[in-house]
Chain A
Amino acid sequence: MDEEIRFFADNRPGAPPYPDEARARVRQRLESRGRRPRFLQPALAAFALTIALVAGVTVLLSGGRDGDDGVAVTALPELDPRPGQFVLIEARHSYTDEQGRATVYHTRAWQPVEPSHGTGVVESTGADRPAWTPPQEVAFGRTECPPILEIARVDYQYLAGLPVDAAGMREWLERRMAGNGAEVDFWELESFLQVTYLPQAQRRALVEAIRTLPGVRVTENVTDADGRTGLALGFVTEGVGVSGGGTIRVTEQLIFDPATAAFLGVRNEGQGTRASARVALSLVDAPAAVRDGGCLVAPPPIPVTAPTEMGNMWMTPQPSPSTTVPDEEQPELEIRSTLTPEPVESVLPTPIPESDTVTFTPVPTP
């Protein structure tokens, strides 16, 4: 080493240790972002995947409404979560790449009611896990999780305390979803919505708050992936990809029930089409045994079908004995469609180059 360099090296100032609180904040931030790509997975995984397409099974709650075309669609119930319970959120996702190849997968998210039960877990089954994925540490049965910072909280008790007015909710959104230079990171917002259930008052405030964000375009009477009619709040995200993909332009719509402000799903166009539909909401006393990198304090997990047979898991909705639904209206689970096995396809999805300079611009009127 040159002596001038060595002189600086020998006289380098000391540095204090990295504070634990700052470390926890960044780690939780990374983990919360880590959740996002689960819903974008087929677009991101740059690997050849062998994908078993699992036929969608529509689980209907009694009281399901008919869509405009007369096809039965799913109505999402209002829940009354109690301490100790978990909200189980089930969703169906599809991704069709630019060559028209489709993949389908399902997610189940368990959102704790109490903050002491951790940050919740998400399970994906279907297309999004590369075959070589090593088993993750099973996050269940712990007696304690690291303290949760506000920025990572998704427990129902916390969300039920959020503002019920649009201005207050917008302030919260800006604090919680602050992106890189952008006022609200729309992907982070979706990631949050996908794994949470909010009381109706907060949902209404949230919809109103999103409407006020710069660049948001409101479209009425859109149809979601489940055939429901909804109100779409859309963004166009433009950015320059770092791995040479040129300008990326993605239109993303969050779809809400106009009557109840329930989050129904998303529709995402650009580098293929991605759609999701929330198909069931229920309350359970314990999550199933899923693999997730998160931490969850929970009773011993309920065994589920082995991953190799995970298709079956979706054919057999698990009305666990602990399922509790408020009020007298116990929705009856009813399988509407029969399973139609579909062929196994090999898919090589196109990765979306991620951008360091994403700006939100208004969606142009078509």
Chain B
Amino acid sequence: MLTLDDATLIGRSLGEPEMFAQLFDRHADEIFRYAARRLGPELAEDVVGEVFLTAFRRRSGYDTTRPDARPWLYGIATKKIAAHRRAEMRRARAMARLAAERPDGFDERSAERVTAEQLQPRLARALTRLNAGERDLLLLLAWADLTYEDAALALGVPVGTVRSRLHRLRAKVRRALPEEFHHG
């Protein structure tokens, strides 16, 4: 079967709304994984539904010159995740506490001590030092693998803003994780 790019699918879904389900089939897993990393699997289920139902309603405003809908979907996901910011921070602080409660000698990178679905305590602690906009940008780049340009699209800001925000957040990450970035 012919594979259509996202923009074509979205364009056609204006006349054939059921075609939108194909966009869901194509990207739901990825959006779920991203949301689950940030919020945990239960909230991530809600977020995925909200993202695609919102995207469906807004599809007439999609810029069809952009064949890849991922930045657009991640942008919507970022807003939906923001609604759960308190839950995200509770989760990050709980994970960060693991580091505080473990005295020295605890190697948090050892696979058997940190379950695969938990954020490493030190990374969680670093995340709590960032403001919401910095956290959104960092995780779109690091966990959604977006380019700077795509992250700018997702966040609805100019690329220049992304670069200056990136500069600040890198400095904060280095300060929060001195043992990782002692040379910088």
Contact = CB atoms under 8 A, between A and B. Distances in A.
Interface of A: 1-9, 11-19, 22-23, 25-27, 29-31, 33-38, 41, 44-47, 128-130, 133-134, 136, 180, 242-243, 292-294, 351-356
Contacts of B99: none
Given A19-B41, A36-B17, 17 more contacts: A7-B177, A11-B119, A13-B118, A15-B41, A22-B45, A22-B49, A26-B48, A26-B49, A26-B53, A30-B52, A45-B15, A134-B12, A136-B16, A180-B54, A293-B21, A351-B14, A353-B60
B105 interface: no
Interface SS, A side: loop
B57 interface: yes
A71 B143 CA distance: 66
B173 interface: yes
A16 B41 contact: yes
Interface string B37-59: 10001001100110011101111
Given A7-B177, A30-B20, A46-B14, A15 B57 contact: no
B93 interface: no
A197 B2 CA distance: 38
Contacts of B28: 18, 23, 26
Contacts of B34: 15
19 contacts: A7-B173, A8-B139, A11-B109, A11-B120, A12-B37, A13-B118, A18-B32, A22-B45, A22-B49, A23-B28, A30-B24, A33-B17, A33-B56, A34-B18, A35-B17, A37-B17, A134-B12, A351-B60, A354-B60
Interface of B: 12, 14-21, 24-25, 28-29, 32-34, 36-37, 41, 44-45, 48-49, 52-54, 56-61, 109, 116-120, 123, 138-139, 141-143, 145, 166, 169-170, 173-174, 177, 180-181, 184
A13 B119 contact: yes
Nearest to A38: B17
Contacts of B119: 11, 13
A36 to B, nearest CB: 7
A133 B16 contact: yes
Contact of B21 (A34, A38, A354, A355): A34
A67 B29 CA distance: 55
Given A15-B36, A242-B61, A354-B58, A34 B17 contact: yes
Nearest to A36: B17
Given A31-B18, A34-B20, A18 B145 contact: no
Contact of A9 (B145, B166, B170): B145
A42 B58 CA distance: 17
A175 to B, nearest CB: 15
A30 B21 contact: yes
Contacts of A136: 16, 18
Nearest to A21: B45
A183 to B, nearest CB: 16
A346 B12 CA distance: 19
Most buried by B among A13, A34, A36, A351: A13
A359 to B, nearest CB: 14
Contacts of A45: 14-15
Contacts of B142: 5-6, 8-9, 12
A17 B57 contact: no
A3 B116 contact: no
Contacts of B18: 31, 34, 136, 292-294
B60 A16 contact: no
B20 to A, nearest CB: 6
A18 B166 contact: no
A13 B117 contact: yes
A254 to B, nearest CB: 21
A139 to B, nearest CB: 10
A16 B117 contact: yes
A129 B45 CA distance: 33
A136 B45 CA distance: 29
B62 to A, nearest CB: 9
Contact of B173 (A4, A19, A128, A129): A4
A4 B181 contact: yes
B116 A13 contact: yes
B143 A8 contact: yes
Contacts of A13: 37, 116-120
Contact of B29 (A17, A38, A293): A17
A33 B119 CA distance: 36
Given A13-B37, A26-B49, A41 B170 contact: no
Contacts of A29: 49, 53
Contacts of B54: 180, 356
B166 A2 contact: yes
Contacts of A6: 142
Contact of B138 (A8, A15, A31, A36): A8
